[in-house]
Structure 1
């Protein structure tokens, strides 16, 4: 049955279920899935949780990842992913959409939309992808204040503090910031844009007992590592934030090129999900059957008397 209207909608808050996933010995693998259809496809492969990238949501809206989307934009995406999959979802909270009070508003909005976890980053607006140059960092104390605000506002939301300091302040600066953010109330740390195995290992060794998140994005500063390799390096979570969007965007680009070239889609059919496969993915028949059981049509037998 589809989760959205079935009896097996989870009773526990998403944040509680996210924490339980982190209690398992194996690394938590969180593929990017910021649309309902993507969430269903990822769930079909057995992933226990999902990640929602600000870059992926921005690009879907035709915008660059420069902190332009709003809390409401992201909450809309959260609602559809959670409704479709009922999986715990980690959401990219960018810089918190402002200062401490804005962060509190974000936390409550995301939690109400169904998010399980959020990460905040210590950049200044206009923020950039962590793997780009010339990032501007907020003062560590200002970021710590945002983390404290998030902690105060949350009910169950798992809070991850991201630091982009390794590129400009080195490992010592990144570790010092991470420790400050933990003192402010972060549940875990996300060291962004580490670019060698040695950096990942060193950061983990200097943060003993801390849950760490690794980012395996393509075309960035991090070499390809598998989930198992990240686990060996000391990481509890790994995300593939924009991979699904990159594949989908390339597919759409090739489709439109084929239509323009061939006057139709006849050469692309083999690359398409069939109607039957799509209906299976979105539980079409289950919804249809459920609708038929809800209200039985009663046909009037005659005209009412005046």
Structure 2
């Protein structure tokens, strides 16, 4: 390591070690300090900062490449301040060419990313489960992977190479791209949106013993499998749940607001709600108050 290498906090588990433990690593999607706190409290060992969820929650927009690199970096920094969980960060296409990728890697790594997921879509990108995607050339993506590897300050920062070619050019092209991305030095592979169990089995057979494989368990994304338990026999190692929290929050919020508008009070929803003191307990109000006492003058 060089003198300016990034040193991980002692409390942050090593993501590579977690991937070597033999179990499928479950990473729920998060998008702010509260969601990070909930995931950590639930006992998960890693979290996924989803670009889609940043777009959904912060800007009220679909996942169509509208979020900037600086906005993602700011979100990563806010979340890193709140949790020591390993953070797998969605960096979309790297926000430009190979030089842009290098700047993005440096910026996200400084903000606290533990792994960076980069895809081979053409900008402006869109959700991997939407139609109309386009992909860049394999050679260009190989260069971007090498650029990302050269830019990272710590070899503990993993580079995940994602290909969206399956839905554009078919399985054969996606498999060829994944092979070349592995050879370019990627630390993990993500073949997005397989359409059948047979395709997932083929991906697992070819790559599962050679490199960690990632799969998206996104509600409504037509995944051939439904759980982390289904992934282990297929030789996948990382299960992402990019928008599960928001997918549950949205209908619950709509029901509450509909009834509040109609009746002027929360009614039966109150039984399922927490109160202000519970939120303060969850977020560590007492801990902050005690920490502040150190600096009070008598």
Q: TM-score, normalised by structure 2?
A: 0.92
Q: Against the structure 1 CA distance between its residues 24 and 219, is the aligned structure 2 distance closer, same or farther, given a 3 Å change threshold?
A: same
Q: Against the structure 1 CA distance between its residues 97 and 10, is the aligned structure 2 distance closer, same or farther, given a 3 Å change threshold?
A: closer
Instruction: State the alpha-carbon separation in 2 of the partners of residues 222 and 142 from structure 1.
Output: 28
5 Å-filtered alignment, 1:184-223, equals 184-207=184-207, 208-223=209-224
Counterpart contact for 1:196–1:223, Cα < 8 Å: yes
Q: Could you give the per-residue CA deviations for residues 120-167 of structure 1, whole angstroms, max 9, x where no partner exists?
A: 111102211111112111111111111111011012221000011112
Following TM superposition, by how much is the alpha carbon of 1:280 offset from its aligned partner in structure 2, in angstroms? Answer: 1.8
Where has structure 1 moved over 4 Å in runs of 4 or more? none
Q: Which residue of 2 aligns with 1:136?
A: 134
Counterpart contact for 1:216–1:241, Cα < 8 Å: yes
Instruction: State the alpha-carbon separation in 2 of the partners of residues 224 and 173 from structure 1.
Output: 22
Q: 3-state SS of the aligned residue for 1:206?
A: helix
Does residue 58 in structure 1 map to residue 40 in structure 2? no
Single out whichever of 221-230 and 39-48 deviates more from structure 2. Answer: 221-230
Single out whichever of 248-257 and 105-114 deviates more from structure 2. Answer: 248-257
Single out whichever of 204-213 and 95-104 deviates more from structure 2. Answer: 204-213
Following TM superposition, by how much is the alpha carbon of 1:10 offset from its aligned partner in structure 2, in angstroms? Answer: 6.3
Q: Could you give the per-residue CA deviations for residues 42-84 of structure 1, whole angstroms, max 9, x where no partner exists?
A: 1111101100111100011112211111111111111122211
Q: 3-state SS of the aligned residue for 2:170?
A: helix
Aligned length: 288
Q: Which residue of 1 aligns with 2:27?
A: 30
Counterpart contact for 1:258–1:267, Cα < 8 Å: no
Q: TM-score, normalised by structure 1?
A: 0.90
Q: Give the unaligned 5+ runs of structure 2.
A: 1-6
Q: Against the structure 1 CA distance between its residues 84 and 13, is the aligned structure 2 distance closer, same or farther, given a 3 Å change threshold?
A: closer
Does residue 17 in structure 1 map to residue 18 in structure 2? no
Q: 3-state SS of the aligned residue for 2:291?
A: helix
Counterpart contact for 2:197–2:225, Cα < 8 Å: no
Does residue 175 in structure 1 map to residue 175 in structure 2? yes
Root mean square deviation, CA, Å = 1.7
Q: Could you give the per-residue CA deviations for residues 14-62 of structure 1, whole angstroms, max 9, x where no partner exists?
A: 6x71112111111111011111111111111110110011110001111
Q: Which residue of 1 aligns with 2:46?
A: 49
Q: Which residue of 2 aligns with 1:105?
A: 103
Larger Rg: 1
Q: Give the unaligned 5+ runs of structure 1.
A: 1-8, 299-306
